[in-house]
């Protein structure tokens, strides 16, 4: 596998066909990248990372891999909770913008009807 000195993204993101040397560390790295994506408002990127992470989790919990400790799993679960909170905040903001857009469209339509009625 090529050495990616300047590339800071997880190995799994660079080459999804390669089996990482330490799948659990890749899961942790992808989870951190997901947190960064949510903080940046990049939901599509976060979802893509989750797909990669899901595949790696299958590797981590296969019979051939050493299991992470309970503390390590708890760390990822804590990060997952932060990701979900961030996604919910983004979702709420998007719904608020859609409500505003809907109200604005209704106001423009009402003004258009008012103009056409000649009042």
Reported as a single tens digit per residue, the pLDDT across 48-62 is: 999 999 999 988 888
Contacts of 46 (CB under 8 A, 6+ apart): 34, 37, 38, 83, 87
Kindly report the pTM of this predicted structure: 0.64
Region 84-111: mean pLDDT is 87
88-104 mean pLDDT: 87
Task: State in Å, rounded, how far the first CA of the chain is from the last one.
Answer: 74
The residue that leads in pLDDT, 2 or 103, is: 103
Which tens digit of pLDDT belongs to each residue from 2-41?
A: 333 333 444 444 444 445 568 899 999 999 999 999 999 9
Q: Which fold has domain 11-94?
A: Methane Monooxygenase Hydroxylase; Chain G, domain 1 (1.20.58)
Confidence at residue 74, expressed as pLDDT on a 0 to 100 scale: 94
């Amino acid at each position: 596998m090529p050495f990616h000195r300047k590339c800071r993204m997880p190995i799994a993101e660079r080459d999804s066909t390669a089996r990482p040397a330490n799948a659990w560390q890749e899961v942790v790295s992808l989870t951190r990248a997901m947190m960064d994506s949510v903080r940046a408002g990049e939901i599509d990127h976060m979802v893509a990372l989750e797909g990669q992470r899901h595949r790696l989790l299958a590797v981590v919990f296969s019979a051939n891999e050493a299991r992470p400790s309970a503390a390590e799993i708890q760390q990822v679960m804590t990060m997952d909770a932060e990701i979900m909170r961030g996604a919910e905040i983004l979702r709420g903001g998007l719904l608020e913008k859609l409500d505003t857009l809907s109200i604005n469209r209704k106001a423009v339509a009402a003004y258009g009807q008012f103009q056409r009625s000649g009042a």
